[in-house]
Structure 1
Amino acid sequence: MLEFYKTFDNVTKRIDQPEPGCWINAVSPDEEEVDYLVHTIGVLPEFVKSSLDEEESSHIDYDDDENQTLIIVDYPSAEDREDTYDENTLQYTTLPLGVVIMKGYIITICLHENLNIEDMANGVVRGVHTDMKTRFLLLLLLRISQRFLIYLRQIDRLSSRTEQKLHQSMKNEELIQMLGLEKSLVYFSTSLKTDEIVLNKIMRGKFIKLYEEDQDLLDDVLIEIHQAIEMCNIYSNILSGTMDAFASVISNNLNIVMKVLTVITIVMAIPNIIFGFYGMNVGGLPVAQSWIPPLIIAIIAMGIATWIFMKKDMFH
């Protein structure tokens, strides 16, 4: 899908055909649209290929001959997925987004629709000017960093709710949700660090021309990224500690169950021992003429054993 946007009187509107100073948004483009970007617009084929690679990490590429710059950054994504227990759980991950800056156009290329691009297109982000490429890029990076913070707070709330459920009953569903959140934080931490490296390269002004009026915006982006990195590290440490604590609790609960079962087995074995003696073909056993005395002896012995185990708090 190809879309063309241009800012008129501080309002970004969709247009039918690309014009100088416009923004071209390519979301999961097919072969025909890729061919249009390469041969009509003039985007370098390797830039398009890199932007559509899900495994591509954040970096900056510059081509002197064509005077084109490619900035690839990771943005957060949240989606519902079905786990093995047929319940929907929220899975967070990161995906690459390519931004190509060239003469006359700024182009965004990604494999999936994402809220950051939609916010830029729908006017949610203020101050967007498609002809001001550096400002457009910084506003997009600011929106991505803010989205990281939003999802990190969601992860914190989800982990708190899941922890409360684990206090009540330790089911596999809650543990799998906690593991999923821990994996999401690993994705976020890795992507945020690579995004920070890209921002530091942008700040040097070597690959992208920086303007004095955009310095405050760049500082805001760096502050948001640093805050997201700190939050990610804090939540990751908390979640890791929580998982270790619950692993110990689960192991302790298993030991308690095994202890109670062992005590019950010992108590229930007493009648077998006593009746085993009376079942032997030997003489001289007391009151061996009837089955009632052995039963009374077994009951008394079981009562004494149960009392001893209860005094030692072996049933808890």
Structure 2
Amino acid sequence: MLTIYRSNCTQLHELALNTLEKGAWFNLINPTPGEIEQVALATGSPLDFLKAALDEEERSRIELEENHMLVITNIPVMRGHDSYDALPLGIVLTPEYIITVCLEANEVLADFRPESARAFSTFKKTRFLFQILYKSATLFLKYLKQINRRTDEIERYLRKSMQNEEIFLLLELQKGLTYFAASLRSNGIVLEKLLRLRSTSQVQHLIKIYEEDEDLLEDVITENKQAIEMVEMYSRILNGMMDTFTSIISNNLNRVMKFLASMTIILAIPTMVSSFMGMNVDVPFGPNSGFTITVLFAIVLTALSAFGLWRKGMF
């Protein structure tokens, strides 16, 4: 899907390919080959720049080619209630336009809509780029807080139920943290490179950084570092929690097996006594009181065995 916008400080207007204006924003979401070719023809952008973010495994990086700069950053996405992932977002800067390319509609770009047009300007390409990166960093923080809250909920469930479903949920959250950690580290490298490029004459015609833009970039770097620290902390907590609850479940299983073994021993005693006394041979105590004495004898042996097992901590 291809949409083209151009803001005028107060409103966001949608344009068509035949009514392009300088400072327009091309937003490509899971584009078709025809849409990519149309954007490449209209903006003069290299096709490989426009197709780079369509690879789910694409790493974050910056590429320069004549009058075009490609910035690929990983953004967080929520696949389900407890499933998180990271997706590459390509941002292409040209002297006149800014282009974003992504495989899926995402919350990062969804925040730049007509209702919030006063907060951004498509013709201020550098600031718009940094605002996209800032939104991505803050979204990482938002999802990390959600993961932390969800982990606390699952921990409370595990204290009561100890079911496999909760362990699988923790495993899913741990997978999301792993994706986030890799994405944030590679994003940090891109941000540091952008910070170094701000004074490079090679890209000054593409990136014009003013004082407030530089402050915004530093805020993005700070948010990204904070997200990295949170990912590392939550990962350690989650790993420790999974190890702890795995040990608890194993210990509970051992207690159940110990109890079952004790019950087997206790039930075997009256069975053994009745088997001996039930043989088709002469037995002591006579025919009248033999049954009563046998039952009492089995009960006494069973009680003594149960008491001994209880003293040994088998119950």
| TM-score, with structure 2 as normaliser | 0.91
SS at match of 2:232: helix
Find the aligned partners of 1:10 and 1:138 in 2 and give their Cα distance.
Answer: 19
After TM superposition, the structure 1 stretch with the greater mean CA deviation from structure 2, 33-42 or 257-266, is 33-42
- Offset at 1:18? 2.6
Aligned to 2:102: 110
Letter in 1 for 2:55: D
Asked if the contact 2:72/2:89 (under 8 Å) is kept, the reply is yes
- Contact preservation (8 Å) 1:119, 1:125: no
Of 94-103 and 118-127, deviating more is 118-127
Gap runs ≥5 in structure 2? none
Task: Find the counterpart in structure 2 of residue 34 from structure 1.
Answer: 36
Show the counterpart of 2:210: 212
1:244-295, Cα deviation, whole Å (9 max, x unpaired): 1001100100010001001000000001221233245666x53264333222
In 1, Cα distance between equivalents of 2:162 and 2:130: 45
Q: Deviations over 1:224-262 (max 9, x none)?
A: 001100111111111111001001100100010001001
Matched position secondary structure for 1:307: helix
> 1:192-239: CA deviations, max 9, x gaps?
000000001100014563523211111100110011001111111111
Q: How much has 1:186 moved relative to structure 2?
A: 0.4
Name the stretch that deviates more: 192-201 or 131-140: 131-140
More helix by share: 2
CA contact (8 A) 2:188 2:224 kept: yes
Deviation at 1:14, TM superposition (A): 2.4
1:295 to 1:226, Cα distance in 2 relative to 1, 3 A: same
Alignment correspondent of 2:275? 276
Alignment correspondent of 2:91 = 99
CA distance in 1, matches of 2:113, 2:138: 17
The Cα shift of 1:116 comes to: 1.1
Identify the range of structure 1 (298-307 vs 230-239) with the bigger mean alpha-carbon deviation.
298-307
1:215-254 matches, cutoff 5 A: 215-254=214-253
- For 1:184, the equivalent position in structure 2 comes to 176
Distance in 2 between residues matched to 1:133 and 1:277, nearest whole Å: 95
Equivalent residues of 2:29, 2:104 under 8 A apart: yes
1:189, 1:126 → 2: CA distance? 33
Classify 1:168/1:126 alpha carbon distance in 2 versus 1 (closer, same or farther; 3 Å). farther
Q: Which residue, 287, 299, 313 being the options, matches 2:285?
A: 287
| Counterpart position of 1:50 | 52
Query: Partners of 1:29 and 1:298 in 2: how far apart?
Result: 81
Q: Is the Cα–Cα contact under 8 Å of residues 74 and 87 in structure 2 kept in the other structure?
A: yes
Give yes or no for contact 2:11–2:117 (8 Å, CA) kept in 1. Answer: no
Which digits, 9 at most, give the CA deviation of each residue in 1:88-143, with x for residues without a partner? x4210000000000121000000100111111234547641211111111011000
Could you tell me how far apart the structure 2 residues matched to 1:168 and 1:79 are? 28
Residues 2-41 of structure 1 mapped to structure 2, 5 A cutoff? 2-16=2-16, 17-41=19-43
Q: Which runs of 5+ in 1 are unaligned?
A: 81-88
SS state of the match for residue 24, structure 1?
strand
Aligned residues: 304
Kept after mapping to 1: 8 A contact 2:55/2:88: yes
Residue aligned with 2:79, SS: strand
The C-alpha deviation readout for 1:167-190, integer Å capped at 9, x for no partner, is: 110122211111100110000000
The equivalent residue for 1:85 is none
SS class of match (2:101): strand
- Whether contact under 8 Å (1:5, 1:121) holds in the other structure is no
**Is the 1:58–1:198 Cα contact (8 Å) retained in structure 2?**
yes
Aligned residue type for 1:139: Q
More strand by share: 1
Name the CA distance, whole Å, in 1 between partners of 2:122 and 2:7: 6
The alpha-carbon deviation at position 300 of structure 1 amounts to 1.3
Change (3 A) 1:211 1:276: same
Structure 1 counterpart of 2:207, one-letter code: K
Identity %: 39
On the 8 A contact 1:278/1:288 being kept in 2, the answer is no
> Are residues 136 and 277 of structure 1, via their aligned partners in 2, closer, same or farther at CA, if it must alter by over 3 Å?
same
